[in-house]
Structure 1
């Protein structure tokens, strides 16, 4: 029996919250990457913090969005192992892309390789998170919509990596994070539009909605703490928040001298 599926069970609350999580992760990741490129010391550490921020932001966006996912006539549960594995995938693939462009630069070939790896990884995170779902029925996917979601993931990842190494000013990076949030959240909801569910008649639900919400909030606690810790590091590092113009001033003076000569 085909069931009615909704991604907006709580209205606009979950998509807005999911979007804000994606923007937060992107903004922190961009600032960390900018810091790593400005000075070479501890570059690996800053790139790693940026990757964790972006990865946790994407993963948190996904599962905040899933709080609003509802199947009429059935309750959902999640496999803990696969859910945590999807978090690991999100962080690892973002780290691969960030380290490629962080150390090798934003040349087209580097961006293409890093963008494809990261985009496919983000899509893998999404569908691994969906594979963790346990429902008394069968999940089916529309192949064309899945392909569109994967393409969007690759394009969004490539644009994010380009912004990470090209956008230096604070306000510009914040604007880029808003655009990245739209792309990543859009990929999630397009991917969810591919889902249809055939519910097995007469089967008992796996757990109550309260238990499901408690599980998702517990899973979200760790990544949210990681994002909070990254935000504290960013806010208390003057190189991250205040030094954009000061850092670029010597470069501008050098250019003016070169032109004068």
Structure 2
């Protein structure tokens, strides 16, 4: 017996919210990766890790917000906790590998193809691991060609995201890229959901294992959403990301003024950038070697 599947039981609320979270994670991730490439003094591993975690959390949050709207009329749905947590770990890990690859090896065609394919397959794995966590009075079946299309969308989206991370620097262009990435990631999810059908097991009933969507997914979403909020705070308070390289340098020059200095400039770095050492102060003393006196 076929079950009646409804992927939009809350109307447009869940798909729109899922899209917004995918865009937010992509936007924060792109800005963090951009920041890692802007200044050699920055702690690159920290920015790359923050960017990868932001994108991974955005993708996972998008998936399970969308899943809150997924219902089968003839059966209640529950979720296996272990597989749900595993899907989050997979999302962050595979995006992290792809981001580290392009962050350290650059955006060569070979690197992008390999890293994008691996990351895209990982994102698809995250989606289907999340689907495997579903417990209901029946079994899920998939239409193979639609699944293949969803995997292809994931690979293309991941490759485009990694390319944008190293090739796009401006704020507005990064914002536009994140909106496109949100469309691609959300499109991958709903393409995968279009492949799903449910075969019910006899009489209507409820699974006796797992937690309901509201008791498991809503509390679990709090952590990734809070993480994205904290990542947003880090990005917002980093001067090089707010102003950009050129504007930041011009602002710093106006603050210093044209005259000679006898004190080192105030440190205005970020959470992933170390302050100057005390020994560096000698470079600003009058008569110091290499210092140009006014």
TM over 0.5: yes
Alignment of 1:100-119 (within 5 A): 100-119=101-120
State the partner residue of 2:99. 98
Runs of 4+ residues over 6 Å off in structure 1: none
Distance 1:147 1:216, change over 3 A: same
1:137 aligns with 2:141: no
Q: Distance in 2 between matches of 1:49 and 1:74?
A: 39
Distance 1:92 1:231, change over 3 A: same
Cα distance per residue 1:179-202 (max 9 Å; x no partner): 000000000000000000011122
Q: Distance in 1 between matches of 2:157 and 2:128?
A: 17
Q: Distance in 2 between matches of 1:211 and 1:127?
A: 18
Q: Distance in 2 between matches of 1:65 and 1:245?
A: 40
Contact conserved, 1:35 with 1:240, CA < 8 A, in 2?
yes
**3-state SS of paired residue (1:55):** helix
Cα deviation for residue 72 of structure 1 reads 1.2
State the partner residue of 2:52. 51
Q: Distance in 1 between matches of 2:147 and 2:191?
A: 8
State the partner residue of 1:234. 235
State the partner residue of 2:39. 39
Q: Which structure dedicates a bigger proportion of its chain to helix?
A: 1
State the partner residue of 1:19. 19
1 or 2 for the larger relative contact order (CA 8 Å, sep ≥6)? 1
Structure 1 unmatched runs, 5+: 250-261
**3-state SS of paired residue (2:203):** coil
Q: Distance in 2 between matches of 1:151 and 1:88?
A: 22
State the partner residue of 1:222. 223
Q: Distance in 1 between matches of 2:193 and 2:242?
A: 36
Cα deviation for residue 6 of structure 1 reads 1.2
